[in-house]
Amino acid sequence: MASFASVGNLPLSDQLPGTWRLISRIDVDDTGKEVPDPALGSAPVALLFYDQTGHFAAQFMNPDRTPISAERPAIAKNNTQAVGGYDAYFGEYAVDDATGVVTQTLLGSLSRENVGAIISRMMTVTGNSLVIKLETSAWNGTPVTRTLTWERIG
């Protein structure tokens, strides 16, 4: 199996910095069934920024925010919480080049419950594509594996 952390001779820590646009965000349960997220929808728009000094920012939005329920689910494991079809957070990150795990410390977040949270994600960069995988739970508490695919735009 190839290293999660690098492609060619470049470690993940060198490939990750940049601006990324979300291509897809898919949650599946342990049977492989897709579990749509009502807060952000099945095709959210999002931007993700990693700089070379260890800082990051992420913003996600449901393109159709009109039917969003005011009821919010409990905070999910290893994840943040959208409010009104929008999620945003920023902070500091560290890359483990040997494992491909990026650990993020949230210094600010739309959901105040997430401020100070430490979240980890498995990441792989191949060319201009970033794939992020994490174990979390769906809005209804179902354990899911989330896969986010991003395209480098800057």
**Contact between 43 and 154 (Cβ < 8 Å):** no
3-class SS of residue 112: helix
Pick the CATH number of 6-152 from 2.60.40.10, 3.30.590.10, 1.10.10.10, 2.40.128.280: 2.40.128.280
Could you tell me the pTM of the whole model?
0.86
Phi-psi category of residue 110: left, alpha or beta, with phi > 0 → left and psi -120 to 50 → alpha? alpha
Q: Which residues contact 88 (CB under 8 A, 6 or more apart)?
A: 57, 58, 59, 60, 109, 110
Higher pLDDT, 88 or 4: 88
Domain residue ranges in the chain: 6-152
pLDDT, tens only, 94-151: 999 999 999 999 999 998 889 999 999 999 999 999 999 999 988 888 899 999 999 9
